Amino acid sequence: MLRAAAGRLVLLYLPAYSPWLNPIEMLWRQFRREVTHCELFASMDALVEANQASFGR
């Protein structure tokens, strides 16, 4: 497959760490701001519950 597309492939080199190019990073940033930033959860169940409430919105 790669040999067949050899003349049409363009390699784009990205920086080693580039969170602005990865859409999931924006989701995790928002999640951290809304749910876990400066928050101490009493148990893992409390964290999971906060997680589900956040993603449910």
Is residue 23 situated within a structural domain?
A: yes
- What is the pLDDT at residue 34? 86
In terms of pTM, does the model score above 0.85? no
pLDDT of residue 1: 81
Q: Are 50 and 56 in contact (CB under 8 A)?
A: no
Asked if residue 29 is part of any domain, the answer here is: yes
Residue type, 32: R
CA distance 49 to 51: 5
**CA pair distance 45, 20, nearest whole angstrom:** 31
Q: What is the dihedral sign for C-alpha 12, 14, 19, 25?
A: positive
Alpha helices in the chain (DSSP H): 23-31, 44-56
The answer to whether residue 35 is domain-embedded is yes
Tens digit of each residue's pLDDT (9 = 90 or more) over 1-57: 878 888 888 888 888 888 888 888 888 888 888 888 888 999 999 999 998 988 887
Instruction: Tell me whether residue 32 is in a domain.
Output: yes
What is the residue range of 36's domain?
Answer: 19-56
In a domain, 10, yes or no: no
What is the domain count for the chain? Answer: 1
Residue 13 included in any domain: no
Q: pLDDT at position 46, please?
A: 93
Identify whether 47 is part of a domain: yes
Q: What is the pLDDT of residue 49?
A: 92
